[in-house]
Structure 1
Amino acid sequence: MKVLVTGGLGFIGSHTVVALQEKGYEVVVVDDLSNASITVLEGIKSITGQVPTFEQLDLRDKQAVHQFFHAHQDIAGVIHFAASKAVGESMKLPLEYYENNFFSLINVLAAMKHIGLNKMIFSSSCTVYGQGEVMPLTEEESIKTALSPYGNTKQVGEEIIVDLAKVYPLQAVLLRYFNPIGAHESGFIGESPQGVPYNLIPYITQTAVGVRPFLSIYGKDYDTADGTCVRDYIHVVDLADAHVRALEYLFKNENTEQIEVFNVGNGQGYSVLELVHSFERVSGIKINYEIVERRPGDVDKAWANTAKIERVLGWKPTKTLDDMLASAWNWEKKSRKY
């Protein structure tokens, strides 16, 4: 079966492409390369022995998207990652985030509807919950006003999918994941953002190799044990597996509703300082960090209740926090020949 992965050369997308290929799927990747490198294709080939079909495409271009889907009418399902993805950056560039994340999703859904394709896995986020009231967060947690444009694009993205399903037999799984980190154990693919990282782990690893002079920790007065933000971190390989399981769930028609929602996390919260100490433990390198002012859009704490995805999809996380950071460090060293 042929599966389309939008944003398939990005961090989570590339690991999901590997997981799909290892399951025997034919994969087509679309990416505009705005935050990814074409060299990721070689990394995928080094792991699986296969190069996925690739087309560089800006999904904001409606006509180009429809032409692409018309040429690939044998696609059986879509995993939609393509989106701008950093909370901090979205606070500075709200219009760019709304344009990219909404137009790309709408154009993909419209093209799917046009050719009669109705199975999608949507890359959503725990940011849709805002600051949750009770931890761990379940899928029944109320959706509050988003604290960032990025979070709002995920909230509204989910709403767009739900609204389309009312008039079209769309079947979709919305995966609300927490904080993906780590890298493939081979070290051939990992998180490699363009420019200065907005995400924590590449900033830590780049500080460790001397690319960044120090790590900025945003705030130490949050309502947590050590005053730094607490998050649920999930290994990207475990997360990729969740996407494959969700897609097969739709392919086997096991879903009981048109739209289903699952949290994907490790089920445990770790503070920023705990993450730093874990990295120091697995790498043997002391991280130079400074406490700076809070960053707009950050919530105090968030971690997942994963009972639903474990029960329905049979998925469970397999990696520890040390595993995640060791794999991220292995990727950083290998990619920079450190």
Structure 2
Amino acid sequence: MALLITGGTGYIGSHTVVELLSADQEVVIVDNLSNSSIKVLQRIEQITGKTPVFVESDICDRVAMDVLFSTYNIDSVIHFAGLKAVGESCQNPLSYYHNNVTGTLVLLESMAKHQVYNLVFSSSATVYGEHNASPLVESMPTSATNPYGQTKLMIEQILFDLAASDPNWSIINLRYFNPIGAHESGLIGENPNGIPNNLLPYVAQVAVGRLEKLQVFGDDYDTHDGTGIRDYIHVVDLAIGHVKALLALQQLKGCRAINLGTGNGTSVLEIVKGFESVSGKDIPYDIVPRRSGDIATVYANAQLAHQTLDWRAEKKLVEMLTDTWRWQSKNPNGFE
């Protein structure tokens, strides 16, 4: 039996594929390569000594999805495929709703047609919106402040409704916080298209000379140094969380939402100073006004993941920053 990984050549997907192959799982990747590189497959093989099956296709393509499920003996799906830039989602909401929501619907219909009922979905802490106080707990009310977050929220609701309608389904929505870091080999890591939307790839690109300086959005938050605090989690810990979630599906029926985070918060300036320390590079920055919708402090309560998945984040911040620098310094232009 095989595992289907949608978006498996992306940042989190590729690290999860490495963990699955290392655990001797049979893996099929489907990806349209819109936000990733085909060269990731060579890097995965270098790390694991194994080559996953790769299908270049779009999950919105119903015929292609049916062919895929008919061709491969798929037992479970981890669903990463989706557009993920908040700012871009505000500029082009129809693309986000079509790609993320319609693509998921096509995937689910193909799964049901071929009687594949085990699913781990790549959700996000963005579904907690602006009005919940940290630590964020799965039972809190959800909301969204942008089209990207809204697509995650919509898909979660679809999955809860689907599981309620049919007892065959076993689904886990993994709500993760801020993935950073890279594989310790330095062969795979975060490789955003264009200007990075997230803090750490931006910092890393400043350190390696691709970008001139960092913009820090606000230094007047109610935090110890005035900058925003987030829960940063190593991408390898996150990947292991997906492997644990797949195992948990064997005993779980219905649909559950589970946080993946460290339970600790780190400020923007702490990230900058920490990265300067591990890289030996200066990170120049300007303080600019806050972004609309940003809040002071976001971090997880991750107890449910420990109870349900037997999972805890293991890697410390210095490892996250060191692994990011190893990846970026070895690959200053990403995979190109």
2:268 maps to 1:272 = yes
Hey, what's the Cα distance between the residues in 2 that align with 1:177 and 1:282? 25
Code of the aligned partner of 2:7 = G
2:80 maps to 1:48 = no
Post-superposition offset of 1:271:
1.2
Hey, what's the Cα distance between the residues in 1 that align with 2:36 and 2:333? 19
2:200 is matched with 201
How do 1:299-318 residues align onto structure 2 when only pairs under 5 Å count? 299-318=295-314
Post-superposition offset of 1:295:
2.5
Aligned residues of 2:130 and 2:293 also touching (Cα < 8 A) = no
Say which is worse superposed, 85-94 or 185-194, in terms of deviation.
85-94
Alignment partner for residue 254 of structure 1, among 240, 251, 254?
251
Say which is worse superposed, 13-22 or 145-154, in terms of deviation.
145-154
2:321 maps to 1:329 = no
Structure 1 runs of 4+ aligned residues shifted over 3 Å read none
How do 1:79-94 residues align onto structure 2 when only pairs under 5 Å count? 79-94=78-93
Q: Any idea what SS the aligned residue of 1:336 has?
A: coil
Flag the 1:77–1:216 CA change in 2: closer, same or farther, 3 A. Answer: same
Hey, what's the Cα distance between the residues in 1 that align with 2:52 and 2:159? 27
Could you list the runs of 5+ residues in structure 1 that have no partner in the other structure? none
Code of the aligned partner of 1:141 = M
Post-superposition offset of 1:299:
2.8
Aligned residues of 2:20 and 2:243 also touching (Cα < 8 A) = yes
2:281 maps to 1:285 = yes
Code of the aligned partner of 2:325 = W
Code of the aligned partner of 2:112 = K
- Two-structure CA RMSD over aligned residues (Å): 1.5
Code of the aligned partner of 1:193 = P
Hey, what's the Cα distance between the residues in 1 that align with 2:300 and 2:103? 28
Code of the aligned partner of 1:241 = I
1:151 is matched with 149
Post-superposition offset of 1:298:
2.5
Hey, what's the Cα distance between the residues in 2 that align with 1:297 and 1:23? 40
Say which is worse superposed, 89-98 or 44-53, in terms of deviation.
89-98
TM-score normalised by the chain length of structure 2:
0.96
Hey, what's the Cα distance between the residues in 2 that align with 1:71 and 1:294? 50
Post-superposition offset of 1:202:
1.0
Say which is worse superposed, 321-330 or 130-139, in terms of deviation.
130-139
Code of the aligned partner of 2:39 = T
How do 1:204-223 residues align onto structure 2 when only pairs under 5 Å count? 204-223=203-222
Q: Any idea what SS the aligned residue of 2:331 has?
A: helix
Count of matched residue pairs: 333
Hey, what's the Cα distance between the residues in 1 that align with 2:68 and 2:54? 11
Hey, what's the Cα distance between the residues in 1 that align with 2:6 and 2:295? 28
Post-superposition offset of 1:142:
1.4
Could you list the runs of 5+ residues in structure 2 that have no partner in the other structure? none
- 1:141-188 deviation digits (Å, cap 9, x = unpaired): 111x31111111111110011111233321101100000000000011
Q: Any idea what SS the aligned residue of 1:302 has?
A: coil
Post-superposition offset of 1:35:
0.6
2:315 maps to 1:319 = yes
How do 1:111-122 residues align onto structure 2 when only pairs under 5 Å count? 111-122=110-121
